[in-house]
Amino acid sequence: MSNREIRRRAGDIRGIDWPVGMHPVLQRVLAARGVGSPGEIDHRLANMAAPATLGGIDTACVLLADAIERGRRIFVVGDFDCDGATGTAVAVRGLRMLGAAHVDFRVPNRAVHGYGLSTALVDTLHDPAPDLIVTVDNGVASLAGVAAARARGIDVLITDHHLPGPDLPIANAIVNPNLDGDAFPSKALAGVGVMFCLLVALRGHLRTQGFFASAGLAEPDLGVLLDLVAVGTVADLVPLDFNNRILVEAGMRRIREQRACAGVLALLRAAGRDPAMLVSSDLGFAVAPRINAAGRLEDMGLGIACLLTDDAARAAELAERLSAINAERRELQAQMIEQAEAFVARWIAMQGQAALPRGLTLFDEAWHPGVVGLVAARLKERLHRPVVACAPAGEGTDEIRASARSIRGIHIRDVLTEVDANHPGLIERFGGHAMAAGLTLRRASLDGFSAAFDSVIRTRAAAELFDPVVWTDGELEPTDFCLELASLLRFAMPWGQSFDEPLFDNVFALDSWRVVGNAHWRLGLRLAGLERPIEAMLFNADAGARPPDRLRAVYQLDINDWNGRESLRLILRHIMPA
C-alpha cells in the first residue's frame, strides 16, 4: 500500500474496424494504447519498416560485401549488456550465414576497457588484427576509439541506436536511426534491431550483386535470428512501437515453436519457464538477467558463447553457469539496494521528505559498478524521481562509473547534456536514452555533479511529474473474471515498454488472507456479482501491515497452473483502502 494515485487510460473504440470476434476488453486495451486501426496490430514481418531507409546503410552494405568477398577479418565489437550480447550474436551468426569466412567478436571488459569501442579495447585487437570492426549497440560516441582504429588502417562500421553527441566519429559508415535527418520511421530500434536490419539489407545487396549464385551459396533465411532480436529488444526496454512489436512477435513465435537457438531455450529452461507458454515478460525477467549477469560481474563473452552455440548440451551447461552468476548478482543487488534505501531513510529522517533531491545521486565505496544500474532502477521506482547510482571504477583509480534511470516525462540523456553544457568537464563521458544512461565521473566531481543534476531537474521538470501514478484499463465486469480472457490477454500482444501489459482496477471485499514465503500475501477477494471469492497474490507486501477489509486493487489477470490444473488468479500491483 502507498500513496500512488490510480488513473485510468482513455481510449475510444468507436469508429475502428476491429477484427470480427475481438473481445471488447481487448479492443478497449488496444485503443487506450493508441491503436487506431487493425493495421497497427498486423504484426506480419512483411509490415516491418524497410531497412533500406536507414541512413548510411548503402555504404555499410558495400563495406561488408567487400569484406565478405575478399575474405577480410571482421571483428564484431559489442556492448556488455543483453542488447549488446544478442546483437553481437546476431551479427556473428548473420555474417557467417551470408558468407563471411573470418568473423570473431570482442566485448569490452567493464573494469579494464570502459564502454564501447575505446582506445584501450582497440589496443588489444591484434594477432591477428581485424581488417574491419563492426560495432553493435555502441560506437556513436567512440570518437577516440574509432580514430585509433583508423590510424592503424582498420576500417570501422558503426551500428548503434544511442543518441549522438555534437560530434560523430570518423567511421567508414554509421548506421543509427537516431542520427539527425535519418529517414527510418522507427527511432525505437534496439541495437540488436539495427544489426538485424543491416543484415537484411546486406542480403539484398549481395543478391543484387549475384554473390550467392557465384559463390554457390543458398540465400539464407535470416528469420532464424529473430529469437535473439526479440530477447535484446525486450531487455533493452526500448518502446515497443509497431516495428518493434513485429520483431518481438516474430521472435517469440519461434521460441514458442521450439525453433529458437539452443542458448535461448536453455536459458528459459534454467529459469524454469516453459518455452511453449512464453510471454514477453519471460524474456525481460528470466532470460535477460542471466545474460546481463555475465557482463555485470564477469565476462559477457560467456553470455555470447551461450547464444552462439548450436550444441544443446553445451548451451545447458553455459545456461547453468549464467544462472549461478545471476544468483550472485541478485544477492549483491539486494545488499546494495538495502544500503541505498538506508541512506535515503537517514536523509529523510534528518532533513525531511521535502529536502530529498528531485534528481538523486548515490555513491558507496563498496558498490559494484556492474550493479549500480539495478540500484538506480529500484530507487527511481520507489521514490519516483530520476536516480544516479555510482560506484568506484576499480582499485587504484579516482574514476567513478554511474548509471542513471529516469521516470516518464524526464529525458535523462537530455538532462545530462544540459549538465555537461552548464559545467564543462564535470562529466567525463556519457550516453544513453530517454529513460536510462551511463556516465563516468571523477571523485572530485561527484559533489558538483550531484548538485548540478538536481538543479537541472528542478528547473526543467514540472512538479506533477513527481506524483506517482498507477495507470489502469478501468474496471472489469464480473463475467470478465475468467480463464478465457486471462489467456487471451496474455498472448494477444507482445506487451512491454510503452505498450504496457493490461492492468485493471476494481473495488473488492476482503474474504481471507495469509502471509506466504514471509513477504507475500495470498488473498481471497469478493466482487459483487460473483458467488465465489477470487484468488489473488500480492508479492513483496508491506511488512507488519494487513490488507483493508474493503480495498481498491490494481491487478493483472493471471493463470495459476498447479499440478496441471489451471485456475484464475489476480496478481495485485497496488492496493489501497476503498
pLDDT at 2: 56
The per-residue pLDDT for 573 is 95
* C-alpha neighbours within 13 Å on the C-beta side of residue 201: 24
Locate all alpha helices (DSSP H) within 423-499, ordered by sequence.
446-460, 483-492
How confident is the model at residue 15, as a pLDDT?
84
* pTM of the complete model: 0.92
Going along the chain from its start, the domains and CATH numbers come out as 5-36+471-577 (2.40.50.460), 46-324 (3.90.1640.30), 357-466 (3.10.310.30)
Summarize pLDDT for 88-128 with one digit per residue, the tens.
999 999 999 999 999 999 988 776 777 789 998 999 998 88
| pLDDT of 496 higher than 70 | yes
How much is the average pLDDT of 559-570? 89
109: left (phi over 0), alpha (psi -120 to 50) or beta: beta
Give dist(CA 491, CA 115) in Å, integer. Answer: 37
Q: Return the H-helix or E-strand segment holding 440.
A: strand 436-442
Q: From CA 266, how far away is CA 269, in angstroms rounded?
A: 5
* Partners of 430 in the β-ladder: 439
Strands 173-175 and 429-432: unpaired
Q: What are phi and psi of 362, to 5 degrees?
A: -125, 140
Say how many C-beta atoms besides its own lie within 10 A of residue 409's C-beta: 11
Strands (E), 309-423: 360-363, 387-392, 399-405
Pairing of the two strands 534-538 and 565-577:
parallel
Rounded CA separation 119/112 (Å):
11
Nearest to 190 by CA among 230, 225, 249: 230
Closest by CA position to 308, among listed 535, 547, 97: 97
Angle, CA 192 vertex, CA 127 and CA 319 arms, to 5° = 75
Task: State whether residue 122 is helix, strand or coil.
Answer: helix
Q: Which cell numbers hold the place of 211?
A: 554473390
8 Å CB contact between 403 and 437: yes
The amino acid at residue 254 is: R
pLDDT digits (tens, 9 = 90+) for 118-145: 998 999 998 889 999 999 999 999 999 9
Per DSSP bridges, beta strands 360-363 and 5-8 are: unpaired
Q: β-pairing, 436-442 with 399-405?
A: antiparallel
What percent of the chain clears pLDDT 90, i.e. is strictly above it?
84
Q: Torsions phi, psi of 344, nearest 5?
A: -65, -40
Instruction: Give the per-residue pLDDT at 434.
Output: 84
Residue with cell 560530434: 167
Give tens-digit pLDDT for 331-386: 999 999 999 999 999 999 998 888 899 999 999 999 999 899 999 999 999 999 99
Distances (CA, A) of 466 to 3, 385, 458: 12, 6, 11
